[in-house]
């Protein structure tokens, strides 16, 4: 006879795919007729943006573009010019992806450089790192009780597990557009030589099935002034915004992670503003994952004191959130230069793929930071210097935990002339998501059958010394007793643990 069990359903998200790939693209570019010939290239800069994600024939293809700027000294040997390029990239992953899953993608320029083929033609090489997570909606039903009247003979070993599970995952593309005024402390600009951006999410609130959050798009620019000397200067502006993302499964009090990925950003000077206003048009994708605590009520085992029982116990697997934490490492060092530095124009930090290793109950994250410095030398020339710096942080994580890492540099990076080159200072910000893969073993189904001629003959009372590590439950199950009866017969407290040196009286349930 099939035993009728009460079942509770749980719906959550789980990571079905987590891959990273790096793609190197080579791109030929011709200098437009409106620009002078190239004498030498000073620096190449790029910002990666994701365009599309397509699943077809067991392959996931992520495409996008790199908005690149090649800064060079023209053939006259004076001043700086720049060549704006749009370089497409495509990463293909040979993986099985559930079509119903939510794809969370990010892209970063890992390295970019260029060289001249001739004064009118250049070759750009860019390496783009693309990370993809697929969050798939899962569900399982756990047995929590017996739904049969008159089955007082059935004994249940109940267990309760607390786990913080992803209750909602959602992506939303949105745009922010505005005109931003350049800081009054900076000169009027005639041209933008390059720009970089950083989109960050701030405070959020969950209202019903909506996440309302504030964000900031921070832009850093290198510009040419309108003065006769074509002075080069850096400046920064910020575009604040707010957004609402709707997602099924959201719960009040859930903990959210919100990542913002650029899809398309255009920055330009407004001609009529005399170099004081910027036009910013940005398309971003918000990637929201919400985690809520769930209490999983299960039956770990059952038996009948009057009938033969057979139980099907199965594992139910899920990934729970252990912790979301941030670590900040302040880096101070010097980038050596070939020529003495008069002053620094700009500094940028790029991070390669982070590696995670375990040290006891800690995880260690190692990453290389490529520091790029654009500077004016004592002789008036503009040059580029580079240095790679290893960085590591540690954080607590129980054995078996995984760690997802996002590394960025704080916007308040600093660089200045030093004796042997350029002094640098910046903060490496590590966003760490600690997760643990767990399995709960629980009763899936059970059958009861009357004893036949092979029914075990047991006395009404058994005296027994417990084996080491033996539980009251296992003894009760073996002798057709109940845990409550054993406690009552021996005067044991509810939390008492059997003592191998203490003789127990085990009464059979009639």
463-476: pLDDT as tens digits: 889 988 889 999 99
Q: What is the mean pLDDT of residues 154-158?
A: 92
> Rounded to an integer, what distance in angstroms lies between the CA atom of residue 25 and that of residue 14?
33
Higher per-residue confidence, 65 vs 147:
65
Residue 483 lies in a domain: yes
> Rounded to an integer, what distance in angstroms lies between the CA atom of residue 464 and that of residue 466?
6
Residue 36 lies in a domain: yes
275/341 same-domain check: no
389-442: pLDDT as tens digits: 999 999 999 888 989 999 998 767 899 999 889 999 999 999 999 999 999 999
Q: What pLDDT is recorded for position 49? A: 96
Residue 453 lies in a domain: no
> Rounded to an integer, what distance in angstroms lies between the CA atom of residue 101 and that of residue 306?
47
97/179 same-domain check: no
107/38 same-domain check: yes
Q: What pLDDT is recorded for position 488? A: 92
Among candidate residues 334, 430, 408, the one with its CA nearest the CA of residue 373: 334
Burial class (CB in 10 A: 0-12, 13-18, 19+), 362: exposed
Residue 329 lies in a domain: yes
Residue 115 lies in a domain: yes
Neighbouring residues of 507: CB distance < 8 A, sequence distance ≥ 6 = 460, 461, 481, 485, 486, 489
Q: Where in the sequence is the domain holding 419, given as residue range(s)?
A: 317-440
On whether the CB atoms of residues 226 and 273 are closer than 8 A, the answer is no
Q: Please identify, among 119, 134, 149, the residue that sits at the C-terminal boundary of a domain.
A: 134
400/479 same-domain check: no
Q: What is the mean pLDDT of residues 230-245?
A: 94
Q: For the chain, what percent of residues have pLDDT higher than 90?
A: 74
Q: What is the mean pLDDT of residues 6-25?
A: 90
Q: What pLDDT is recorded for position 98? A: 62
pLDDT higher than threshold 90 for residue 453: no
425/485 same-domain check: no
Token pair 């950003």 in the structure block, residue: 265
State pTM to two decimals. 0.88
Total tally of structural domains belonging to the chain: 4
98-125: pLDDT as tens digits: 667 899 999 999 999 999 999 999 999 9
Residue 150 pLDDT level (bands cut at 50, 70, 90): low
288/355 same-domain check: no
Q: Give the gyration radius of the chain's Cα atoms.
A: 32
pLDDT higher than threshold 70 for residue 316: yes
SS (H, E, C) 472-483: HHHHHHHCCCCH
Q: What is the mean pLDDT of residues 208-225?
A: 95
Residue 475 backbone dihedrals phi, psi, to 5 degrees: -70, -40
On whether the CB atoms of residues 354 and 365 are closer than 8 A, the answer is yes
Q: What pLDDT is recorded for position 410? A: 77
State how far the alpha carbon of 297 is from the alpha carbons of 157, 161, 437, in Å.
11, 7, 18
Q: What pLDDT is recorded for position 266? A: 95
Residue 494 pLDDT level (bands cut at 50, 70, 90): confident
100/203 same-domain check: no
Neighbouring residues of 234: CB distance < 8 A, sequence distance ≥ 6 = 220, 221, 222, 223, 345, 346
245/176 same-domain check: yes
32/74 same-domain check: yes
Q: What pLDDT is recorded for position 229? A: 77
271/321 same-domain check: no
Question: ∠224-225-226 over CA atoms, to 5°?
Answer: 125
pLDDT higher than threshold 70 for residue 499: yes
Q: Please identify, among 85, 118, 134, the residue that sits at the C-terminal boundary of a domain.
A: 134
> What's the whole-number average pLDDT of the chain?
91
Pairing of strands 341-351, 362-377: antiparallel
> Rounded to an integer, what distance in angstroms lies between the CA atom of residue 240 and that of residue 407?
22
> Rounded to an integer, what distance in angstroms lies between the CA atom of residue 167 and that of residue 147?
28
Q: What pLDDT is recorded for position 162? A: 92
CATH number where 485 lies: 3.10.350.10
pLDDT higher than threshold 80 for residue 240: yes
On whether the CB atoms of residues 128 and 91 are closer than 8 A, the answer is yes
The alpha carbon torsion through 44, 49, 52, 55 (nearest 10 deg) reads: 80
Residue 148 pLDDT level (bands cut at 50, 70, 90): low
Residue 234 lies in a domain: yes
Residue 483 backbone dihedrals phi, psi, to 5 degrees: -60, -40
- In which order are the strands placed within the sheet that holds 121-146? 5-30, 121-146, 102-118
Residue 449 lies in a domain: no
Burial class (CB in 10 A: 0-12, 13-18, 19+), 116: middle
341-374: pLDDT as tens digits: 999 999 999 999 999 999 888 999 999 999 999 9
Q: Please identify, among 113, 134, 155, the residue that sits at the C-terminal boundary of a domain.
A: 134
403/325 same-domain check: yes
184/286 same-domain check: yes
- In which order are the strands placed within the sheet that holds 81-93? 38-56, 59-74, 81-93
For every residue of 144-172, DSSP letters joined together read EEE--TT-TTEEEEEEEEEEEEEEEEEEE
Residue 122 lies in a domain: yes
């Amino acid at each position: 006879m099939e035993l009728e069990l009460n079942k509770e359903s749980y719906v959550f998200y789980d990571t079905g795919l987590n891959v990273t790939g790096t793609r190197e693209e080579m791109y030929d570019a011709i200098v437009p007729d409106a620009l002078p010939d190239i004498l030498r290239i000073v620096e190449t800069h790029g910002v990666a943006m994701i365009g599309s994600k397509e699943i077809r024939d067991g392959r996931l293809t992520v495409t996008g573009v790199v908005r690149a700027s090649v800064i060079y000294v023209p053939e006259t040997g004076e001043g700086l010019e720049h060549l704006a390029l749009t370089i497409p990239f495509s990463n293909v992953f040979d993986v099985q992806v559930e079509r119903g899953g939510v794809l969370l993608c990010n892209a970063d320029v890992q390295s970019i450089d260029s060289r001249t083929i001739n004064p009118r033609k250049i070759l750009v090489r860019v390496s783009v790192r693309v990370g993809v997570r697929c969050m798939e909606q899962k569900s399982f039903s756990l047995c929590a009780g017996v739904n049969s009247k008159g089955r007082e003979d059935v004994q249940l070993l109940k267990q309760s597990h607390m786990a913080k599970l992803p209750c909602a995952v959602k992506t939303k593309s949105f745009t922010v557009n505005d005109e931003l005024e350049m800081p009054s402390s900076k000169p009027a600009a005639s041209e933008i030589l390059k720009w970089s951006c950083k989109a960050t999410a701030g405070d959020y609130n969950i209202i019903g099935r909506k996440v309302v959050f504030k964000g900031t798009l921070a832009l850093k620019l290198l510009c040419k002034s309108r003065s006769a000397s074509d002075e080069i200067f850096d400046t920064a502006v910020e575009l604040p915004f707010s957004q609402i993302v709707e997602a099924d499964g959201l719960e009040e009090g859930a903990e959210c992670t919100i990542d913002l990925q650029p899809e398309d950003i255009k920055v330009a000077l407004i001609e009529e503003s005399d170099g004081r206003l910027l036009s910013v048009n940005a398309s971003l994708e918000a990637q929201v994952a919400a985690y809520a605590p769930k209490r999983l009520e299960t039956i770990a085992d059952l038996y009948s004191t009057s009938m033969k029982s057979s139980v099907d116990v199965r594992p139910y697997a899920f990934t729970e959130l252990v912790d979301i934490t941030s670590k900040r490492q302040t880096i101070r060092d010097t980038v050596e230069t070939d020529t003495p530095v008069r002053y620094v124009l700009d500094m940028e930090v790029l991070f390669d793929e982070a590696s995670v290793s375990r040290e006891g109950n800690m995880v260690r994250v190692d990453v290389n930071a490529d520091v790029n410095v654009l500077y004016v030398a004592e002789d008036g020339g503009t040059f580029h210097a580079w240095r790679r710096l290893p960085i590591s942080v540690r954080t607590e994580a129980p054995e078996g935990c995984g760690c997802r890492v996002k590394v960025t540099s704080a916007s308040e990076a600093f660089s200045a002339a030093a004796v042997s080159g350029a002094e640098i200072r910046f903060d490496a910000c590590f966003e760490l998501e600690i997760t643990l893969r767990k399995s709960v073993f629980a009763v899936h189904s059970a059958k009861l059958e009357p004893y036949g001629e092979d029914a075990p003959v047991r006395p009404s009372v058994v005296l027994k010394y417990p084996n080491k590590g033996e539980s009251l439950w296992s003894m009760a199950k073996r002798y057709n007793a109940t845990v409550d009866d054993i406690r009552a017969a021996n005067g044991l407290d509810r939390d008492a643990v059997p003592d191998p040196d203490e003789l127990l009286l085990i009464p059979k349930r009639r």
